[in-house]
Structures are given as C-alpha cells and as structure tokens.
Amino acid sequence: MKKLRNSCAAVLLGIMVLCTGISAAAEEQVIVEDDCNDFTNPAIYNLTDGKVANMKTADSAMNFNKFSDGTYASVTDGRMIKEADQNAASEDKSTYIIYYAQEAMASFHVETYYCKKGGTTANDMSFAASSDGVNFTPIPKADVTKTVAETTIDGQVYNEDNWADYFWRQVNFDFNLLPQNTHYLKISFGAKSSKGAYYDLAISKVQIFAAAGIDTRYLEEALKETGALLEEQKDNCGDGDLQYPESAYQALQQAYAEAEAVLKNSDADQTMIDQAAATLTEQTEIFLQLQNHLLPLVDECENFDLLLSYTADNLQISTSDITLGDRNRFARLKEGSAELVYRVTEDVAFIELEAAVRRNQAEIDAGVMAEDMKIFVSADGQQYTELPADTVTVRSIDGGYFDDWVKDTWRRVRYTVFDVPAGTRYVKIVFGAASEEGVYWENHLMKVTLDREKRDSFLRGLSLWKTEESGGVAVTDQIQLQAGGSFVLTGNLTVDPAAAESVMLLAAVMDGDQCCGVTMLRTDENGRFDFREENAIQVPAGLHTPNIRVFLWDGEMQLRPVAADLYVF
C-alpha cells in the first residue's frame, strides 16, 4: 500500500508540472467566418434555393435603451432570424443552420442578439457537431461559455446589469474543444420568449477555428480528466463496495505517465499525440468499468453514479411530482431509444424494477399503454440475452393494472425476475416504446434492485382481496419452513392510505392448520408495509409441517383490493 501511495504522489506531482508548464490552448486559425448578412457564405451547408429553411435576414435597428426625449440608443447589424413562429417548447428543431469545413473544426465563436420580454429571453442557441453531416452529437449547454457582451453606444456601456424589458443585448457563445474530426457545426435556435416573438433572437456572426500546427488539446484534456480521477480515487483502492482494485489504479497511473511523456516529447508528431490521447481515454474507461459493485445493489434513481453506461442524450433525472411519493426517476428526454446498464462484481440471482406509468384517455379507451421495460442480462457485457416476458412478473403496486385506471394518472408497476440466468454480471434495462408519438415520457424508472440471494415469492404478484368469511383478507399460498429456524419477509405491500391506520398485516407461523404464533405489523402513513431484516420471525422447534400464512386484517371491513410483493428467504 505504501508503494502505491508513493507512486500516486509522483503522478500527482506530474499533473502539477503539466498544468503549469504546458500551454493550455493550441494556436488556431479561422476556417469559417460569416457576418450573417445573407446566405451567400460558401460554408453554409443546408441551403435550399439560396436560403436556409425557416430563416431570413434582417438589418433593422435594435434598441438598447430609450431616453427621456423619446430617442433610442440602438445598433444596426445584419443578422439571421427566424422566418416565422415555430411554436417550439425549448429548442426549435426545425430552425437551424449548418456550416461545413474541409479542415477539422476545433472551436467556435458565435455572436447573437437577444431581446428581453417579461423579464426573460428566448432559450439559448444549441450546438451539435458531426463528422459526416448526418449524425450530430449535441454539445452540452453547460460546456458552452455564454457571455452577455458589453456594447458601448455614444459613450454609454450596455451590459447584463442594465438590461431592461423590450431592449436588446449582444450574447456570445464560445466553445474550444469540439470532438475530433468535426467537419459540420449545427446551430439551432432556442424557443421564443413569448407567443409571436420569433424575431427576438438572432445570429449576427459565426467564426469557426481549426488548430494550427500540432494539436495537443485533446491529449491535454485527457490528461487533465485522468489526473483529476487519480487524485479523487487515490484513497479508494481495495475490495470494498464502490472501490477500485489496486492493480487497476496502478495500471491507470502507468497509462497516465506514458501519455504525459508523449506530450512532453518535442519530437512527437500529430499521430503520436492522437494515439496517446486515444489510449489514455480507453484506459480511463477500462478503469471506471472495474469499480467494485457488490450486491445487493439498490438504485433509487437519484443520479447515474451506479450505472456502467446509459443513453446520455435521452435520459434525465425527473424530479416532477407525479403523486407517487417519489421525486427522483430516470425518464426519457425525447422520442427514441433509451437504455442503461449495471455491472456488478457478483452473480445476480434476483432482479426487480419499480416503474411509474401514465395513461391518457385515448390509451385507456384503446386498451394500450407504454410497452413494458425490457430486461437483458449478460455474463461478459458483450453478449446480452433478453429475458422472455414469461420469466418477468409484471404487476401494479397501486391496485389494478388496467382496471379502474383514471385518465392522466400515474401508477407504480413492478417487474420482478425470480429466475435469473446463472453467471449474470451485467443487467441492461431498455425503456419500452411509447404507445403513440409524443408521449415518450409516460414511463419512468423509479428503483432498481439487484441481489445475490435468490428469492422465492409465495405470492408471485397475487392481489389480496377482502374475504367476508374471515373478516379480513387471507392468503392461502404457503411456503414450507424449517422448524427451529427463522425467516425474513422483505419487500413492501401497499393499501389505501385512507385505511392505513386500521389495517394490520398478520404473518402467522403454522403447523399444518394450527397457528403457532403471529407477528403483527401496521402500515406507515402512506399505507405501506416495509419489511426489513430486523423483522425476522422465529419458527418454533418441534413443528411437524411448519409453514407461513399472511393475512391482512381490517376491523371495519373497508379494505380495498391491494397488491402484495412479499418474499421469504
């Protein structure tokens, strides 16, 4: 361990030298420059009949201030604007301009004008990069530097601090690390600030740059990110949960040192620089995949930290209130596929997902809803097998599944796999397709549980119903127990919260038909029973045919149908 720490210190010292002794940015040259007065620039890629769809140019004055004598401080600048109102929600996907350059693009500077109305402006421009002009990768808005520029008119400075409603300001966007081999830059308009105000944002200048000479920026960025990772994880090596094997940490240290040596080599050419960046990035990804994930794994879907991978451009953390008591869920951002993958370091024997599903009136009338979540498993993370539908128990936690579903409401749906193929170390979850276009957001993932213990359900999703004969709800499914041992009920069971205070669950230890002991549990304020290991129930010694029966008791006989999800192990 001491040797590992000394090695880490040497690497971190190298990081400091790297950050202080090497220029942070390569020299650049302009390869595209457009003043946006018209559509004649040869770099514009998406021209049709001499113009860009849904766009036009303007050169009218833009007011920055109004004086007491009724005159204005204004600027006149040629610019590209929307041709008409597109009624977009956040990004106007139908209004965009694409620039092409034969040389690889490295960075851009885009100048725009925004008009403030009602204390707000139109949504920001968005940017995407492509190597082929077909498949574009969005550039995260958080990574693009947005600046409200200072504009001086007749000696008066206008900036963000004195920006009032119905006046304009220049807003600049800068980004200095486009993906390698970028030859196409797509600039999409944000949505308007108010109805009919399609003209309140404009593009006035576009500059795109290429690196001059040997481009070391990608290698520098890879070293910066890997160095930060090594520093963050230097005390997190071991065999524990969420730790990294020491051998993996040492291998990444070595990869870092080799990449740093290439960067410092004055004789290194572009091929050597690019190869070093690619190798270090690959080794960093391998290191991240080797993090220990011990079982049981319970993901409450509050972040993406427990995932090996996920569809980054189509999954978000939704925190809206859908009245199911859960404010953190994985949800789709748009139409299209969305999936996520878990990797664990033990064999998985039990899988359970908890989802939220919404249905509108049209779906209810047609008897349809979003497709069920699909579950795939793998031993090596390469070859995945979809679990057949008949091996996945699907049921609602909130009463019915299709029955009595009120329009535009959400219900919790649980997917449970009791028979997981042996050797499973990777679990992939694919969001089911929406029932119709435009409702891609009607299924969310709320919770994922993976466990090493194989659980046998003695209810298997059976709904529990009130029985007049017993004055309560009885479940006749039984499971054989070992006399003299103990068992644990785990999972949860939900009843109508309005009846929560008067409802009890009775777990009866039986010897044949004779009751030998009863454990009583009440619901919480949400009408849910939550079983944990401290609820272990003892089975008396000397029983001939010990078994367990579960009852729900409502003294006032007002218990509504409930759904159970109980396991014994």
Residues of the chain with CATH 1.20.1270: 2-25+216-289
Helix (H, G, I), strand (E, B) or coil at 127: strand
Residue 23 confidence (pLDDT)? 38
Question: 2-25+216-289 sits in which CATH class?
Answer: mainly alpha
Residue 453 confidence (pLDDT)? 83
Burial of 421 (0-12, 13-18, 19+ CB in 10 A): middle
What does the alpha-carbon distance between residue 148 and residue 157 come to, in Å, rounded to a whole number?
A: 12
What does the alpha-carbon distance between residue 480 and residue 512 come to, in Å, rounded to a whole number?
A: 10
Per-residue tokens: 381: 């993370």
C-alpha closest to that of 398 among 471, 505, 323, 458: 323
Residue ranges for the chain with pLDDT beneath 70: 1-26, 85-92, 193-197, 323, 325, 393-404, 455-507, 512-513, 518-538, 545-569
CATH 2.60.120 at 28-211, yes or no: yes
| Strands 91-105 and 182-190, sheet pairing | antiparallel
Residue 470 confidence (pLDDT)? 42
Which letter, b or e, does each residue of 391-404 get, where b requires 16 or more Cβ atoms within 10 Å of its Cβ? ebbebbbbbebeee
**What's the chain's length in residues?**
569
Residues of the chain with CATH 2.60.120.260: 297-454
CATH 2.40.50.140 at 297-454, yes or no: no
**Neighbouring-strand partners of residue 289:** none
Query: Is 270 within 8 Å of 279 (Cβ atoms)?
Result: no
What does the alpha-carbon distance between residue 375 and residue 211 come to, in Å, rounded to a whole number?
A: 45
The CATH T-level fold of domain 457-568 is Jelly Rolls (2.60.120)
> What is the DSSP secondary-structure string of 295-364?
SSEEE-SSSSTT-SEE-TTSEEEE----SSS---EEEESSSS--EEEEE-SS---EEEEEEEEEE-HHHH
